[in-house]
């Protein structure tokens, strides 16, 4: 099973990378862009077919290594064989 861990800065935390991307998009003519928040997406293969166990392992990885709980939030999604990307079972 595949665990997707999406990590984003918490609301209110300054995002200089997102600001730089927004500025670059404006310079490229994408004037409708009002804000950009940059984040990280981790795709992790785990050896289980149990969605509950996969989410628990994903949550532990996110809390211990993949995110900084002081300034970041995370979201978990699961993929199973044959399911479209990002579709939770």
Q: Is residue 6 part of a domain?
A: yes
Question: The CATH number of the domain where 56 resides is what?
Answer: 3.30.1280.10
Q: Is residue 88 part of a domain?
A: no
Q: Is residue 63 part of a domain?
A: yes
Q: Are 52 and 34 in contact (CB under 8 A)?
A: no
Reported as type and span, the H/E element at residue 17 is helix 16-27
Q: Is residue 75 part of a domain?
A: yes
Domain span holding position 69: 2-79
- What is the total count of domains within the chain? 1
Task: Quote the pLDDT of residue 65.
Answer: 98
Q: Is residue 86 part of a domain?
A: no
pLDDT along the chain (89 residues), means of 10: 97 97 98 98 96 97 98 96 56
């Amino acid at each position: 099973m595949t665990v997707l861990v999406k990590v984003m800065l918490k609301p209110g935390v300054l995002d200089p990378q997102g600001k730089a991307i927004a500025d670059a998009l404006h310079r490229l003519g994408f004037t409708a862009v009002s804000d950009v928040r940059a984040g990280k997406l981790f795709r992790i293969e785990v050896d289980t077919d149990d969605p509950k166990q996969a989410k628990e392992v994903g949550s532990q990885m996110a809390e211990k290594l993949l995110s900084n709980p002081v300034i970041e939030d995370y979201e978990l999604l699961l993929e199973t064989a044959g399911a479209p990307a990002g579709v939770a079972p």
